[in-house]
Amino acid sequence: MHTKTINRILLDMYLIGYALTSCNNSSITSTPKNEIANTITPTSVSTLTYPGPTLTTENLTPTPTLYPIIEYLQNETPYYERTYRLPGACDEGQCLFYDNQSNPSYPIGYATLYGYYVPVDRITRRIGSTGAEKESCDGFVIIHGAPDLLKAYESTFFGDDAVLSKIPDGNLVINIPLYNQDEATKEIIYSSTSDHPVRLSVINLPPIYRGIAPCFSPVHIISAYKPISRSELSNTYLIAEADNGKTFTYNVTTRFMVTLDDKKHPKSKLTCEPEPIFGWISNGSNPDPERYPEQFEIARTGKCILTNGDFQVTIIGVPLE
């Protein structure tokens, strides 16, 4: 799962939003998500500092494209010197907060969007341009997302059909940036439909580049996940010698048991690499350290190879949907 601390989120938004420095995948995957909740608590207000060089108008060469950004920098407090308000929970699903000084009603930070891909034609009127241009953009129909975020999209981009539109059922359609995504991520998104939506993990950015960049998107995509159907989940919960070489896919919190030949595959030699994605259940296991069965519960998403000598199975944990 791709995550970051509050400081990391701010720095990424700072770099991505101004489009002055590329933000590669390694800078997005540095911190386990459970550290987000440990970094800042609900309803707290923190002054967050960015330790790098100051971005000022002197660092920029005045060009027509950059005039709006230069004006923004002249009139606004830099992001690395502002205070931010976190009004709700910061958890696995979202970590949205508000810039108290610039736009207190527009949430920024980590969010999860559920929906599907649609190609969209946008009519763009760029800053400094005298006419309108038609552009083909990558769109995403939002079936579900944080209510405050969707409300902010409607109020901020109301009437701007270059950024936001609606389909007949009332769901919002935003532009999404796929130019910098790998082929696997693109395929997951392209294959989504209204009947088979996907989940996007995104960084919601300050909309300062609106009207400048073609197919402007308010988000930066961190990852895409396609939920599997229940028919694709394993319905075998007792793994035995005969299952050698098989793959088992379980939802998080699902319990399963392993029972092997005690002499051929001693329980003490049971491992799962690179690291287990499940926990041991004591009241479902044999208390004898040399005897099976052993019961486990899927604790997180991921994959590991359960091995004991010449016995090997693959265990995959997927999110609850």
pLDDT in tens, 211-237: 667 788 999 998 898 877 788 899 999
Q: Give per-residue pLDDT as tens, 284-298.
A: 899 888 889 999 999
Residue 290: per-residue pLDDT: 84
Q: Does the structure show a pLDDT above 90 at 258?
A: yes
Q: Letter for the amino acid at 274?
A: P
Q: Give per-residue pLDDT as tens, 111-141.
A: 999 999 999 999 876 655 666 778 899 999 9
% of residues, the chain, pLDDT over 90: 43
Q: Give per-residue pLDDT as tens, 85-108.
A: 887 777 777 888 887 766 788 998
The backbone region for 150, taken as left when phi is positive above 0, alpha when psi lies in -120 to 50, beta otherwise, is alpha
Closest CA to 181 of 220, 141, 128: 220
Q: Tell me the backbone φ, ψ of residue 105, rounded to 5 degrees.
A: -110, 5
Gap between the Cα atoms of 234 and 41, Å rounded: 38
Residue 58: per-residue pLDDT: 42
Q: Does the structure show a pLDDT above 80 at 184?
A: yes
* Beta carbons of 134 and 123 less than 8 angstroms apart: yes
Give the chain's domains with CATH numbers.
6-225 (no CATH), 230-318 (2.60.40)
Q: Does the structure show a pLDDT above 70 at 82?
A: no
Residue 266: per-residue pLDDT: 93
Q: Does the structure show a pLDDT above 60 at 53?
A: no
Residue 76: per-residue pLDDT: 55
Q: What is the mean pLDDT of residues 14-34?
A: 33
Gap between the Cα atoms of 5 and 34, Å rounded: 9
Verify cis geometry, omega within 30 degrees of 0, for the bond prior to 319: no
Name the band, by pLDDT with cuts 50, 70 and 90, for residue 18: very low
- Could you tell me the two tokens for 284? 């479902």
Residue 128: per-residue pLDDT: 58
94-98, 201-205, 269-273: segment of lowest average pLDDT: 94-98
